[in-house]
Amino acid sequence: MKIENSNFLLTGGSAGIGKATAKKLIKNGGKVAITGRDESKLKSVAEEIGVLPIHADVANQEDVEKTYKIFFNEFDKLDCLINNAGIGGTRAEVTGLDWDNFINVYSVNVFGAAMMAKKASQTFIKQNYGNIVNIASTAATKGYPYGTVYASSKFALRGMTECWRAELRKHNVRVILINPSEVVTAFGDPDRVERKEVSKKLRSEEIAHTIVTTLEMDNRGFIPEVTIWATNPF
């Protein structure tokens, strides 16, 4: 697709991977709306980088509806949904799993992503064209000790991606999964404070580069899934 003059809806866009991706899309001529739960931070970032802020929580069904209403009041069409909003679960042994922790994480990482994709897909089918990018994790490809809640949510996102891809290809909709390895962001920090850059670890910019360059492939083809590793994090 051509990024220039295309319209993008990006969830969780006020920090980290979301913010870096929005900046790169804008730099390449795209028109971008971002969502976020922290209204003050969202508006500040939107003003900084030149995007439309939509104060919304993907885990709230009413907010999902509101998001699309605000988006289409501003833009005449949607070219790409980027499901970036995500949270980490509390690390726990299987013997100490907590029901509420599952609900909190799945509400964002799974249910929220699915409801955002549902609305986007309704538009894309009518258009006979569109793109969905789901931001998963290397945790979607391999479990690890104490990662039951988070890893399983990303496995679920990966599975949903495959289902949507199978359903939507006949409508010229490309569904792409991005699996970042460890990225130095505010992810997992309860105060949402961005961590300092670490020379051997991935930055949000590497993930943004991957998202944008993957989308830039001509619409006749697409990359179903891509994983990004740090070259030498040791």
Mean pLDDT in residue range 11-26: 98
Q: Do 113 and 58 form a contact (C-beta atoms < 8 A)?
A: yes
Mean pLDDT in residue range 148-177: 98
pLDDT digits (tens, 9 = 90+) for 71-116: 999 999 999 999 999 999 889 999 999 999 999 999 999 999 999 9
The contacts of residue 43 (CB under 8 Å, 6+ apart) are 53, 55
* Sign of the dihedral through C-alpha 46, 64, 108, 60: positive
Taken in order of first residue, the domains within the chain and their CATH numbers are: 7-228 (3.40.50.720)
Q: pTM for the full model?
A: 0.94
Asked whether the predicted pLDDT for residue 192 surpasses 80, the reply is no
